[in-house]
Amino acid sequence: MDVLSNLGLGFTVALEPINLMYAFLGVLLGTAIGVLPGLGPVATISILLPVTFTLQPQSAIIMLAGIYYGAAYGGSTTAILVNLPGESSSVVTTLDGYQMARQGKAGLALATAALSSFMAGTIATFIIAFAAPALAEFALDFGPADYFSLMVFGLVAAVILAHGSVVKAIGMILVGILLGTMGIDVNSSLPRFTFGVPQFGDGIDFAVIAMGIFGIGETISNLGRGAEAREYVKDYKGLWPSPHDLKDIVKPALRGTFLGAALGILPGGGPVLASFSAYALEKRIAADPDRFGRGAIEGVASPEAANNSASQTAFIPLLTLGLPASPVMALMVGALMMHGLYAGPQLIAEKPELFWGLVASMWIGNLLLVVLNLPLVGFWAKLLTVPYRLLYPSILLICCIGVYSIRNDALDVIVASVFGLVGYVLTRLECEPAPLLLGFILGPLIEENLRRALLISHGSPSVFVTRPISAVFLALTAVVILILLLPAIRAGREKVFVEDAS
């Protein structure tokens, strides 16, 4: 009954005209960036972080969340019509969605993606409503040693699921940790890594790094790729599936929903892993696996449901444990920090209107996305005809204005530009920059909890193995590392990310 009353509070907040407007704006932007290849949710949310500083916290988070799960919807449109995934989580959808489109079933494929995602979003909303408060209550028993071990586990999981070389991912996390510890040390009051620049005494602002690496850096990378020849499927009539089609959609969508929800909760999990796993599951249990890759409706329904539910349940470890499991969740932490709020078990108790308003807005946002995606599919398809050379000047201008508005300091614009070049170089060197962002967010928290734990234990490191919760997370970390060292696992990981890149 408490959950229902809390959801009532959430809908009261989410249905306020101002929050409803920002939910609509978020899913609209999310759909647009999902449709446009190369401009993902990480870059867009990075660019919009300074804008959210002027909003109420619940309005800001509702809009940013809408951008995140809206991008998954938009990515399926280009995956089906153009065989070009707008989002990495929609890579799997191209396998059967585009084949359905070529067979004259583009409308059915688009409807399958939209309805599966809406079903997943609805179920994921209730999963968050029931699971998050219980997990937050459990997290109240966490001590500094437990948080330290949890965050180490999260970083290790992020390394494993990062694209490309594990060594490079570890290097990116270490660089992120070093950048996160810049500034005046709170214990010794001595400057660290400031290079004699007074403005670095408070460290580098999170938004400056995020907008530099993902906003400016991604823009430069996209310019270097050049224009792509695209073959469109323009016939997308018949957007409502028949009863027989609905029957074929429901079971795969349900399996994808629950698999994606589980993977979204795990640190390091996410929409990409969820969609690949859901597709592999459907192919394994199918009576005729050879149908997959030739236009199987299950190959669209299950991955689309999985990536949408994973996008939403990723908020559970963020809001209850303060653990960002992906770059987007790290950006959400940054948005909360800009409003003087900190993700963790106290957030639900101290800011119930923010938490439950966000949960309720997810269902409303998914409903808005169905309305936006199906009737306006022609409009979204035409967005693909916009040359990127017409978009990038405005993107760079918004980045510079946004960075400058944070502290009204021109040095921040210079720093963001430098990180933009760094982000471009990292991309060229095949070093995924996302782990750097996670290291930047979690590095100071790991250091703080490490120091607090050792202070409480009078310098004894045994506290990390004598506390049950901490010992469990360290054991899980060791297990994950051992699993990664297995040759078969390494080969499977590389195969997944090669397919993702292609």
Q: How far is CA 478 from CA 125, 157, 329, 416, 472, in A?
A: 32, 11, 24, 36, 10
pLDDT value for 18: 92
Count CB atoms within 10 A of the CB of residue 123. 21
Beta bridge partners of 184: 191
Calpha distance 21→265 (Å, rounded): 28
Count CB atoms within 10 A of the CB of residue 4. 8
Based on DSSP, count helices (H) and strands (E) in the chain, helices before strands: 24, 2
8-state DSSP, 408: S
Question: What six digits make up the tokens of 342?
Answer: 């900190």
Query: Which single residue is written with the structure tokens 């792509």?
Result: 228
Burial of residue 305 (number of CB atoms within 10 Å: 0-12, 13-18, 19+):
buried
Element (H, E) at 192: strand 191-192
SS3 state of residue 183: strand
Q: Are 346 and 307 in contact (CB under 8 A)?
A: no
Query: Which single residue is written with the structure tokens 């670095």?
Result: 200
- Beta carbons within 8 Å of 205's beta carbon, 6+ residues apart: 406, 407, 412
Calpha distance 330→206 (Å, rounded): 10
Count CB atoms within 10 A of the CB of residue 192. 14
Question: What six digits make up the tokens of 411?
Answer: 């040095």
Calpha distance 161→157 (Å, rounded): 6
pLDDT value for 239: 64
Question: What six digits make up the tokens of 69?
Answer: 């799960």
Beta bridge partners of 191: 184
Helix 468-485 and helix 487-501: axis angle, to 10°?
80
- Beta carbons within 8 Å of 13's beta carbon, 6+ residues apart: 19, 58, 353, 354, 356, 357, 360, 361
Question: What six digits make up the tokens of 352?
Answer: 């119930």
Q: Which residues of the chain have pLDDT under 50?
A: 1, 229, 493, 496-502
- Beta carbons within 8 Å of 28's beta carbon, 6+ residues apart: 70, 372
Calpha distance 69→59 (Å, rounded): 16
CA-only gyration radius of the chain, Å: 22
Q: How far is CA 159 from CA 163, 260, 403, 477, 484, in A?
A: 9, 20, 29, 11, 10
Calpha distance 156→477 (Å, rounded): 7
Query: Which single residue is written with the structure tokens 């994606």?
Result: 260
8-state DSSP, 104: I
Beta bridge partners of 192: 183
- Beta carbons within 8 Å of 128's beta carbon, 6+ residues apart: 312, 313, 315, 316, 359, 362
SS3 state of residue 314: coil
pLDDT value for 261: 87
Calpha distance 305→498 (Å, rounded): 23
Q: For 253, list phi and psi in degrees, rounded to 5.
A: -65, -40
Burial of residue 225 (number of CB atoms within 10 Å: 0-12, 13-18, 19+):
exposed
User: pTM score, two decimals?
Assistant: 0.73
